[in-house]
Structures are given as C-alpha cells and as structure tokens.
C-alpha cells in the first residue's frame, strides 16, 4: 500500500511538473506573441507617422505653394493677358492694358514663375506621381524662356508655351494627397495650412 501511495505521489508530482512545464511554455509563447504584436504595432505606427509626415511635407513644401503661385498667375493672365476678355472687348484702352499686363508680368508673373522653378528644382523628390515629371520639366523650360521673351517678341516663343493643363494636373495630384491623408487619418487631423488650399 505504501508503494501505491508513493507511486501515486510520484505520478501526482509528475503531472504537476508537466502542468507547470506546460504553463511555462504557454506563458512564454504568450509573452513572445505579445512582444511580437507590440513590435508590429510599433512598426505600423512608425510607418504611418512617416507617411503622414511625407504627405504634410509634399503639401506644404511642394503642391500648395505651387498651386498658389500658379493660380495667381492664371488669374492675372485671364483678367488682363493678351487673350483676356478685357483686352478683346475694347472697353479699355489697349495700350494701357498692354502696359499693365507687361508690368504685372515683370513684377508678379515672372517672379512667381521663378519661385515655382525653385520649388520644383529643390523638391522634385516630393512629387506624388513620377509619371508627371515631364510636365514639371516642361514648366521649367517655359518659365525660363518666358523671362527671356519678355524683352522682345520672338516667333520662337511658340516653342516654349505653357504646358497644357499643368495647373490642373498639380491640383489633381494635391487633391489626391489630401484624400489619402483624410482616408488614413481623418479630416480632424488635417492641418489648418492644408485646409486653406483644399479645392472642394
């Protein structure tokens, strides 16, 4: 009987040790999984933070300033440029409007173009879609040529015209970034600067 009690105690101790070992194994696996999950979550948060920072940088250092400068230029061109309604209507003195246009080109349009060139040259790495790079390079060529052609009207200017639909393409790319930001982070996290330039 004592052998049976001893064997029973030994079996009970073995079972207890086995349960203890299983408990340690389960606990270790659980701890490893928890560490792994925390690492994955931390990495995901880091990637999301980097993405958010890149979008903010793209908007604040590239797209928004370019859209602002080109929009001002377009507004001036449409109001008093060579093909504007004001010039075509004959309501205003043509020599005066031509002079105003020339002065606005020198004081606003060309400086804005050069600022856009500077933004492109320094920040082309922030472009959202590299298939549009040629449009930016075409704008650079146009802007630098436009500055030269202001002094004299050369026929060759037709070789350096403003890239068709350039502003619209920039606005479209900017709006895609804003949508991506909103989808990922929600509108409430959009900065005030981004809200100023959002085309609704």
Q: Which domain holds residue 71?
A: 63-200
Q: What is the pLDDT of residues 2-51, one digit of tens each?
A: 567 777 777 877 888 888 878 888 888 877 777 777 767 777 777 888 88
d(CA 156, CA 45): 54
At residue 198, the pLDDT reads 53
Which residues are CB-contacts of 177 (< 8 A; sequence separation ≥ 6)?
55, 58, 59, 63, 128
At residue 200, the pLDDT reads 37
Give domain status of residue 15, yes or no: no
Give domain status of residue 103, yes or no: yes
Give domain status of residue 53, yes or no: no
Give domain status of residue 159, yes or no: yes
pLDDT < 70 regions, the chain: 1-3, 39, 153-154, 186-200
Give Cα 158 distance to the centre of its chain: 32
What predicted TM-score, i.e. pTM, was given to this entire model?
0.73
At residue 187, the pLDDT reads 58
At residue 199, the pLDDT reads 46
Give domain status of residue 24, yes or no: no
Cβ atoms 197, 70 nearer than 8 A: no
Q: What is the 3-state secondary structure of the chain?
A: CHHHHHHHHHHHHHHHHHHHHHHHHHHHHHHHHHHHHHHHHHHHHHHHHHHHHHHHHHHHHHHHHHHHHHHHHHHHHHHHCCCCHHHHHCCCCHHHHHHHHHHHHHHHHHHHHHHHHHHHHHHHHHCCCHHHHHHHHHHHHHHHHHHHHCCCCCHHHHHHCCCCCHHHHHHHHHHHHHHHHHHHHCHHHCCHHHHHCCCC
Give domain status of residue 73, yes or no: yes
């Amino acid at each position: 009987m004592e052998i049976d009690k001893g064997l029973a105690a030994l079996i009970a101790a073995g079972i207890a040790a086995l349960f203890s070992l299983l408990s340690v194994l389960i606990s270790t696996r659980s701890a490893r999984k928890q560490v792994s999950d925390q690492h994955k979550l931390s990495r995901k948060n880091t990637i999301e933070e980097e993405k958010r920072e890149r979008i903010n940088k793209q908007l604040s250092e590239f797209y928004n300033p370019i859209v602002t400068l080109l929009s001002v230029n377009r507004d001036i061109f449409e109001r008093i440029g060579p093909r504007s309604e004001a010039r075509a209507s004959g309501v205003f003195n043509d020599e005066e409007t031509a002079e105003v246009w020339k002065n606005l080109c020198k004081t606003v349009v060309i400086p804005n173009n050069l600022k856009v060139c500077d933004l492109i040259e320094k920040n082309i790495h922030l472009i959202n879609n590299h298939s549009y790079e040629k449009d930016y390079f075409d704008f650079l060529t146009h802007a630098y040529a436009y500055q030269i052609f202001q002094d004299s009207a050369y026929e060759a200017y037709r070789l350096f015209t403003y890239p068709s639909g350039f502003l619209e393409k920039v606005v479209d790319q900017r709006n895609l970034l804003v949508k991506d930001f909103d989808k990922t982070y929600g509108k409430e996290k959009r900065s005030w600067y981004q809200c100023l330039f959002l085309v609704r």
